[in-house]
Amino acid sequence: MATVISGDTGIDKVTDGAAMPAGSVIQMIESNTPMKSGTWTDNNLHNIISITCTPKSSSSTLHIVANFSAQLYGNGNTANMHWTLALYESSTLLYNMNSLHSNNHYLNTFHRTQDHRIGAIVGNTSTNARSFYLKAQKTEASSNGRLNINSGYGSLSIIVTEVEA
């Protein structure tokens, strides 16, 4: 069954269910609503931001990119500040950026805003919804340093681009 497209393009019919050429962007979705905000000093792995994508094609790839900005504080008791960023699909680790660190002014209470981008490409075999999470963990000793996330210190986002394989 054909669907009529009106206009002056010279194209008047498209076949329902026609496949997109390889490399075509099928959809892009974005979330910039944080799951976590404020300051923390513990060493737990925290969910920072998430997104759920329902693929349109069962033969596509999903390109996930997350942006992370946070203020880092040394609290005057550490020479370096260490943390980890990780990208998950549900509870499965896709990519881990461990041993991130900065040593700018951490022997005092000065702070620094760090920006990072992390991404992964995953295959797709169904049109079932899939959830992706950016997680962060302060890996400095529990009493040393802190991370602070809020809208005044950069931005958080996670974007999924579905591309036909």
* pLDDT per position as a tens digit, 96-152: 987 776 665 545 555 667 788 999 999 999 999 999 999 998 887 666 777 788 767
**In this predicted structure, which of 7-11, 82-86, 114-118, 130-134 has the lowest mean pLDDT?**
7-11
Instruction: Kindly state the greatest CA–CA separation across the chain.
Output: 70
Cα–Cα distance for residue pair 111/155, rounded to 1 Å: 17
Output 71 or 135, whichever has higher pLDDT: 135
Would you state the structure tokens that stand for residue 32, as one six-digit string?
Answer: 């910039």
The pLDDT assigned to 43 comes to 86
Q: What's the whole-number average pLDDT of the chain?
A: 82
**Where exactly are the structural domains of the chain?**
20-164
Mean pLDDT on 19-37: 90
Is the per-residue pLDDT at 89 higher than 90?
A: yes
Distances 76 to 90, 139, 148 between C-alpha atoms, Å: 36, 16, 16
Cα–Cα distance for residue pair 156/53, rounded to 1 Å: 18
Domain topology for 20-164: Jelly Rolls (2.60.120)
* DSSP string computed for 11-79: --EEETTPPPPTT-EEEEEEE--BS--EEE-S---EEEEEEEE--S-TTEEEEEEEEEEEEEE-TTS-S
Q: How are the residues of the chain apportioned to helix, strand and coil, as percentages rounded to the nearest 5?
A: 0, 55, 45
Would you state the structure tokens that stand for residue 143, as one six-digit string?
Answer: 């009493």
| CA R_g for the chain | 21
Is the per-residue pLDDT at 10 higher than 60?
A: no
